[in-house]
Amino acid sequence: MVDVAVARALHVLAVVIWIGGVAMVTMVVLPAVRRGDIGPNRLQAFEAIERRFAWHARIATVIVALTGFYMTDRLDLWGRFRLREFWWMHAMVGVWLLFTLVLFVAEPLFLHRWFHAKASAAPPDRAFAVLQRAHWLLLALSLITILGAVAGSQGMSLL
Ligand code: HEM
């Protein structure tokens, strides 16, 4: 089962790059931008970083889905989606779906324009506060999912 080992390694690697980036943006970049530490133009500073990270995150979400569904099929784990103790399998697909919708649908269609308009208006603080809360929520869901998946794949359900 070398193929499953490779898929698992790529799966975790992509998760690390993706969720690690979300943690960095949430806990380091956004607080620094909000305080004006990266320059007085907060919107420009944030968009320069977020624009580059969005592509890393998009590529990572695709790799995570391909490797995740490959493992599910190869190990025939579909039955897990009917069992409560495998809540973390639902959580993985849920987190992936949420980010996919944000990165591939909402952001290019309206989220980017909405945030740009809100943050360009004076005062922009509220727009950044809402953005940071949304990032905290996504990060918390992702971390709970990672905890559940690592423990769950070793047979410990946590629920
Ligand atoms: C389409 C979405 C996804 C699918 C189908 C999927 C599927 C899987 C499968 C089948 C496994 C192996 C479980 C086992 O060995 O018992 C796994 C492991 C794992 N997944 Fe996902 N996954 C997805 C998304 C995610 C996301 C979004 C995260 C993180 C937020 C994540 C984090 C992990 C982690 C940390 C492991 C455990 C690796 C280990 O300890 O061996 N997955 N995933």
Query: How far does residue 11's CA lie from ligand 1's centre (Å)?
Result: 7
Q: What pLDDT, in 10s, does the model give residues 23-58?
A: 999 999 999 999 999 988 999 999 999 999 999 999
Looking only at Cα atoms, what is the longest distance across the chain? Answer: 57
Rounded to two decimals, what is the model's pTM?
0.95
Q: Is 150 in the pocket of ligand 1 (CB under 6 A)?
A: yes
Cis check: omega of the bond before 123, within 30 degrees of 0: yes
72 falls in which pLDDT band (50, 70, 90)? very high
> Which residue has the least CA distance to atom 10 on ligand 1?
72
Which residue, 92, 32, 35, 26, is CA-closest to 53? 26
Looking at the chain, the number of H-run helices and the number of E-run strands are 6, 0
Which residue, 96, 98, 132, 133, is CA-closest to 15? 96
State how far the Cα of 89 lies from the Cα of 97, in Å rounded to an integer.
12
Pocket test of ligand 1: the residue of 64, 156, 157 to mutate, having most ligand atoms within 8 Å of its CB, is 64
